[in-house]
């Protein structure tokens, strides 16, 4: 039994909710009366509600994100149909900004706008004692991070053994990119380093090995960042230790370079958001980025560190034409990061982009995850092609399974235009974007690329594809249960001097 149940539909099992654990860690005297139940996107809302109601709660706190809004809406509808007396309190980004005119906003008894760790206990105390807050929409001012309890102790032994451990060392972002919710933050706030390192040490002592920092701009505060990097470097010999940071691309000091270069292979991943290389686009979204320095830093990271480099481009930004997008993609291919995530622009309620979308003729899907359908530069049919491009690029490019084959093509053909033509052919032949088995995918890759090449190129491509397939078989025989190839080997540059 639990008077309070905290729950969420996570994107997948391996991604535990840091937000729920932050609430749990800060409940104080109410902590013993509280249970945490997590589900994923494969869970039916009826099943989730059954599990929650078995605990007979009086209050349910639920995290709402773009990936789970539909599930939470169904969950809340069922809850209020059969147990309307149970108080439903919503939090998370969607609860803060997107529910003013959404059915889910009407189903909630209360929703918290902002960071809820310190205000949620007060809400629960009032509800449990028959003194509900007057407001249904409760504003939570940013807390002093020195007073916030870390969620780390709420990660179970099962979490430590089987899931990513989401941690944060700071909140906020100094940039004002119009498409991002971080544009609403006023400044970067950092957790005190001594407390943070003590908490991380405790996680490692309990068996934590896979750490994913959610800081938006990890490398902006050099003293803060180097203290964290030094902490992990002192423990880097621990088997299985892996750390992920999100970094801005044009800020890389000598001190940070020295430390990043010291991490051994397989221990460090850096996510670097480029979003666009077009200066007009960057100005339109109020993003300040030195493209020359960003490229220089990416090349240094790829040649001077063992880190896995993941980069991001966004399709559909204001003033980004198809030609401009192609130039940005080709520029990244030439640099040679291990992954290029091609994401579709989403309309996040509360961001500055929402107020400017009309002037750019932006039309978004009204249903989560609110992806762009078309804008002034890219019509609906073009956006559909680009969405398939992004999906197939994940299957073929980012998977690391076709590295030699792609390199053989990109060394003589423009990467974006060629892969878009391949994407069109692949969809015409298969009619699928998901659930394509690897042997069939390899057959389709060959079938759809060969018509784009001349005879000599076809021979070179076929040989490279056979090389890739031989690598799969060799790895599967050596490690039958292994994952795809190590990401550090996945350079796709078409320039031999940067390809590995």
pLDDT digits (tens, 9 = 90+) for 379-436: 999 999 999 999 999 999 999 999 999 999 999 999 999 999 999 999 999 999 999 9
Q: What is residue 184's predicted lDDT score, i.e. its pLDDT?
A: 65
What is the average pLDDT value for the chain, to the nearest integer? 91
> What's the length of the chain?
500
Higher pLDDT, 177 or 245: 245
The CA-atom distances, in angstroms, between 57 and each of 6, 36, 54 are 10, 11, 8
- Which pLDDT band, with edges at 50, 70 and 90, does 490 fall under? very low
Name, of 95-99, 218-222, 346-350, the range with top average pLDDT: 218-222
Q: What is residue 474's predicted lDDT score, i.e. its pLDDT?
A: 81
Q: What is residue 473's predicted lDDT score, i.e. its pLDDT?
A: 81
Query: Biggest alpha carbon distance in the chain?
Result: 79
Give residue-wise pLDDT tens across range 434-453: 999 999 999 999 999 999 99
Give residue-wise pLDDT tens across range 108-135: 999 999 999 999 999 999 999 998 887 8
Q: What pTM value is reported for the model?
A: 0.91
433's CB contacts (< 8 A; 6+ apart) are 388, 391, 392, 427
Domains and CATH numbers, the chain: 4-143 (3.40.50.280), 155-362 (3.80.30.20), 379-500 (no CATH)
Q: How much is the average pLDDT of 185-193?
A: 86
Q: CA–CA separation, 288 vs 32, rounded Å?
A: 47
Q: What is residue 496's predicted lDDT score, i.e. its pLDDT?
A: 30
Chain-centroid distance, C-alpha 312: 10
- Which pLDDT band, with edges at 50, 70 and 90, does 175 fall under? confident
Q: What are phi and psi of 293, to 5 degrees?
A: -65, -40
Task: Quote the percentage of the chain above a pLDDT of 70.
Answer: 94
Residue 491 confidence (pLDDT) above 50:
no
Q: What is residue 488's predicted lDDT score, i.e. its pLDDT?
A: 39
Q: CA–CA separation, 319 vs 454, rounded Å?
A: 35
First-to-last alpha carbon distance for the chain, in angstroms, is: 56
- The answer, yes or no, to whether the previous bond of 369 is cis (omega within 30 of 0) is yes
| Helix and strand element counts for the chain (H, E) | 19, 16
Q: What is residue 348's predicted lDDT score, i.e. its pLDDT?
A: 83
Residue 484 confidence (pLDDT) above 80:
no
Residue 480 confidence (pLDDT) above 60:
no
Q: How much is the average pLDDT of 81-87?
A: 97
Higher pLDDT, 234 or 288: 234
- Which pLDDT band, with edges at 50, 70 and 90, does 191 fall under? very high
The mean-pLDDT minimum among 61-65, 99-103, 258-262, 275-279 falls in: 99-103
Q: What is residue 414's predicted lDDT score, i.e. its pLDDT?
A: 97
């Amino acid at each position: 039994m639990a008077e309070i149940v905290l729950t969420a539909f996570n994107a997948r099992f391996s991604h535990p909710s840091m937000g729920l654990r932050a609430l749990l860690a800060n409940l104080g005297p109410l902590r013993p009366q509280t249970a945490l139940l997590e589900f994923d996107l494969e869970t039916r809302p009826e099943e989730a509600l059954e599990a929650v109601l078995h605990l007979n709660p009086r209050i349910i706190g639920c995290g709402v994100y773009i990936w789970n809004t539909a599930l939470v809406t169904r969950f809340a509808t069922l809850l209020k149909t059969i147990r309307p007396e149970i108080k439903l309190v919503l939090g998370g980004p969607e609860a803060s900004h997107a529910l003013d005119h959404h059915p889910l906003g009407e189903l909630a008894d209360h929703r918290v706008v902002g960071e809820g760790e310190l205000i949620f206990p007060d809400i629960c105390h009032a509800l449990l004692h028959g003194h509900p807050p007057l407001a249904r929409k409760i504003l939570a001012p940013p807390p002093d991070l020195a007073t916030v309890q870390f969620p780390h102790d709420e990660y179970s032994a099962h979490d430590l053994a089987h899931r990513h451990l989401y941690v944060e060392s700071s909140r906020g972002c100094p940039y004002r990119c119009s498409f991002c919710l971080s544009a609403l933050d006023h400044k970067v706030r950092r957790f005190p380093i001594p407390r943070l390192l003590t908490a991380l040490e405790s996680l490692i002592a309990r068996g934590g090995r896979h750490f994913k920092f959610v800081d938006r701009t990890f490398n902006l505060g050099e003293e803060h960042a180097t203290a964290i990097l030094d902490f992990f470097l002192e423990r880097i010999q621990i088997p299985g230790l892996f750390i992920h940071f999100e970094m801005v691309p044009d800020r890389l000091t000598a001190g940070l370079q020295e430390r990043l270069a010291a991490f051994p292979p397989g221990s460090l991943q850096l996510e670097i958001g480029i979003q666009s290389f077009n200066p007009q686009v960057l100005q339109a979204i109020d993003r300040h980025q030195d493209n020359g320095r960003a490229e220089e830093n990416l090349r240094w990271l790829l040649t001077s560190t063992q880190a896995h480099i993941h980069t991001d481009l966004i399709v559909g930004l204001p003033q980004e034409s198809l030609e401009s997008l192609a130039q940005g993609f080709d520029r990244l291919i030439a640099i040679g990061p291990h992954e290029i995530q091609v994401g579709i622009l989403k309309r996040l309620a509360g961001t500055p982009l929402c107020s400017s979308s009309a002037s750019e003729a932006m039309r978004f899907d009204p249903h989560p995850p609110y992806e762009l359908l078309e804008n002034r530069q890219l019509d609906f049919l073009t956006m559909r092609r680009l969405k398939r491009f992004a999906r197939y690029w994940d299957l073929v490019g980012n998977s690391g399974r076709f590295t030699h084959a792609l390199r053989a093509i990109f060394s003589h053909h423009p990467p974006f235009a060629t892969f878009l033509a391949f994407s069109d052919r692949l969809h015409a032949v298969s009619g699928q974007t998901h659930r394509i088995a690897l042997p069939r995918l390899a057959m389709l890759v060959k079938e759809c690329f060969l018509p784009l090449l001349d005879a000599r190129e076809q021979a070179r491509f076929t040989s490279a594809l056979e090389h890739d397939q031989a690598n799969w078989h060799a790895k599967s025989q050596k490690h039958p249960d292994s994952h795809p190839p190590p990401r550090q080997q996945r350079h796709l540059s078409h320039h031999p001097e940067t390809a590995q």
